[in-house]
Amino acid sequence: MRIAVLGAGAWGSALAISLSARHQIRLWTKDPDHAIEIDKHRINQSFLPGHVLPESLQITAVLNEALDGVDLALIVVPIVGLRETLRAIVASKIKVPVIWGCKGFESESSKLPHQVVEEEYSDILPYCGVLSGPSFAEEVAQGLPTALTLASKDADFSSKVASELHSPRLRIYTSQDVIGVETGGAIKNVITIAAGISDGIGFGHNARAALITRGLMEITRLGLGLGGSMKTFMGLAGVGDLILTSTGDLSRNRQVGLMLADGKSLHDILNELGHVAEGVHTARSVLQLGNRLHIEMPITQAVCSILHEGVPARNAVEVLLNREQKTEIY
């Protein structure tokens, strides 16, 4: 299969490395200097250092060159760049099925990725889908076992593409619940920031487990309100992704929480990370959607108060701990 991986960040580079074993891959970055650097050294030093890119992997900063003759475009840019990338594909006049791997809500519109795709790339529908699940780029690049979910409204499309991408070390499961897969991948980043704060304060494993479990309730309530399926939130793109990012130190959103607990400013944290932490930009959209649907989101509210209102991390967590007692499932 000929695949264009659009976005040469850590995740795009890791997928390109993994898929190169069985497919013809072109990796696109919109930055010409970045493309030259990667092609020269065969390492993406900026985002995935230490992992050599196969010689068969083509690098380009020319979108038409990346898309020419491919069977599939895999968009792996941050959610903030999804609409721009789709518009560039449309401008290229090359029609190709697309899958996206970005997680979050578009900050200005609070729209999920599939809604952005529907607005900008409707000609190709329904031959599109979302790829998500518990996955650190570093481990995928190493060839360690990973399981993901590919969701599309067209079951035949997702089945065909999943069978092409599937391998013993990169297992791809299918779903038709696009909304559920996207909301699980988006909201878990907010909960992960809270888990990082809890660990950074030193509240221990018991508190982390409670926070993850209650966070899953928030994900499920809002996800169901948006039209997702309960089964999805109990699977890879829901609880699986939440557990990984809330407990694994490779998670950028977890690192944000740990550093907030340490008293660092959000500005300094983001500069230190050097990578996008989607939960920071997603939290406000999640809270707004919860309010619009009259869904209680206390953990998200606490994270937003820390990120955007200047409330000290410990104070916000204490508010959570002192909420009124109630039944567990509601």
Task: Say which amino acid occupies 144.
Answer: L
Percent of the chain with pLDDT over 70: 99
Beta strands of the chain (E only): which ranges? 2-6, 24-28, 43-44, 48-52, 58-60, 72-75, 98-100, 128-132, 146-151, 170-175
Q: Where are the domains of the chain?
A: 2-176, 179-321
Region 317-330: what's the mean pLDDT? 77
188 is known as an active-site residue = yes
Say if domain 179-321 classifies as CATH 1.10.760.10. Answer: no
Catalytic residue among 188, 231, 264, 326: 188
Percent of the chain with pLDDT over 90: 90
Determine the straight-line distance between the first and last CA of the chain, rounded to whole angstroms: 47
pLDDT digits (tens, 9 = 90+) for 71-103: 999 999 999 999 999 999 999 999 999 999 999
Superfamily of domain 2-176: NAD(P)-binding Rossmann-like Domain (3.40.50.720)
Region 160-169: what's the mean pLDDT? 97
pLDDT digits (tens, 9 = 90+) for 43-72: 999 999 999 999 999 999 999 999 999 999
d(CA 310, CA 182): 29
